[in-house]
């Protein structure tokens, strides 16, 4: 009886710890798998978003280039070299008398 009692006392404790361990292990595994899966989903989505980022960057670069070209064109058109040439062609002449107030 004494022997049986000892066996009965030990067995339930061993099972409980073991069960908890297994449960924790399963929980962690599920959690880790969930995280991996989530990362995979997000990574997958993000990977395809690279295309969008690339397009946006290209658009920015193109606009910056256009801006540079336009700036250069404006400067060219308003240069004194061009303006004086146009003035000459339009028949403007240098004043011979200047009145200073």
Partner 1 sequence: MTRLKILQTVIFITAFLIVLRLFYWQFVAKINDVSQTLSQDEIPASRGEIYTSDNFPIVANQEAFLFYGKPKEITSVKETASKLAPLLISEKYATREAQLSDDEKKQKEEEIKKQEESLFSKLSSKSLFWVQLARKVPLATKQKIEALEISGFGFENDEKRFYPEASMGAQFLGFVGSDKLGRDTGYFGLEGNYDSKLRGKPGRLGQDTDPFGLPILVREFRPLSPQKGASLHLSINRSIQFIVEDKLKAAVEKYGAKDGTVIISDPKSGKIIALATYPSYNPANWQEYEENLYKNKAVADTYEPGSTFKLITMSAALDLGMVKPNTKCDVCSGPRQIGGFEISTWNKKYFPDSTMTEVIQHSDNIGMTYVADKLGVDNFYEYINRFGFGKSTNVDLQEESPGGIREKEEWRPIDLATASFGQGIAVTPIQMIQAVGAIANGGKLISPKIVDKIEANGKEEIIKVDDTKQVISPQTAAQITEMMVNAVEKGEAKAFAPKGYRIAGKTGTAQIPVSGHYDPNKTIASFIGFAPANDPKFVMLVRFTEPSSSVFGSETAAPTFFSISKEIFNYYGIGPTEK
Q: Where does this chain bind partner 1 (CB under 8 A)?
A: 42-43, 46-47, 49-51, 53-54, 65, 68-69, 71-72, 75-76, 78-81, 84, 98, 100-101
Least CB distance to partner 1 at residue 49 (A) = 6
Distances (CA, A) of 76 to 62, 71, 80, 82, 87: 21, 9, 9, 7, 15
Q: What is the dihedral of CA 15, 17, 23, 29, to 10 degrees?
A: -130
Least CB distance to partner 1 at residue 81 (A) = 6
Question: How many whole angstroms separate alpha carbon 96 and alpha carbon 90?
Answer: 18
Least CB distance to partner 1 at residue 75 (A) = 4
Query: Which is nearer to partner 1, 7 or 80 (by Cβ)?
Result: 80
């Amino acid at each position: 009886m004494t022997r049986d009692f000892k066996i009965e006392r030990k067995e339930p404790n061993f099972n409980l710890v073991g069960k908890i361990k297994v449960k924790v292990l399963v929980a962690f595994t599920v959690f880790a798998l969930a995280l991996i899966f989530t990362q995979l989903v997000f990574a997958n989505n993000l990977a395809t978003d690279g295309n969008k980022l690339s397009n946006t960057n290209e658009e920015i670069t193109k606009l910056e280039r256009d801006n540079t070209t336009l700036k250069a064109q404006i400067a060219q058109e308003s240069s004194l070299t061009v303006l004086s040439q146009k003035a000459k062609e339009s028949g403007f002449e240098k004043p011979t008398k200047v009145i200073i107030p």
